[in-house]
Amino acid sequence: MRTTLTALCLTLALAACSKVTQENYARIQDGMSEQAVHAILGKPAESSSVTILGLSGTSSKWQSGDAVITIQFANGKVRLKSFDKAQPTK
């Protein structure tokens, strides 16, 4: 019982500290470096990179619960971003 309660408290504390929020998404600006984005959102849950003709591109995704932030980087700078949150079903 005590272990279950401890695990539940820890889970709630981590969920409350999520960096995947609309407020943090709004802080991400075009041209911002990957390092600056990581300082705001932390390490992405998923990331893939490609280099073609000297141009590098990375797509990174941060997820927490039903909220997802996806950012596309070109040569280490933010070029596209999106924030998606599942709508509650009725």
pTM of the model: 0.75
pLDDT confidence of residue 18: 85
pLDDT confidence of residue 1: 63
Cβ(79)–Cβ(60) under 8 Å? no
pLDDT confidence of residue 90: 65
Q: How far apart are alpha carbons 9 and 40 in whole angstroms?
A: 24
Summarised one tens digit per residue, pLDDT across range 40-83 is 999 999 999 999 888 899 999 999 999 999 999 999 999 999 99
Q: 19-85: which CATH number, 3.50.50.60, 3.30.1450.10, 3.40.50.620, 2.40.30.260?
A: 3.30.1450.10
pLDDT confidence of residue 86: 80
Which stretches does DSSP call E strand in 1-90? 46-52, 55-64, 67-74, 77-85
Summarised one tens digit per residue, pLDDT across range 6-35 is 554 444 444 446 899 999 999 999 999 999
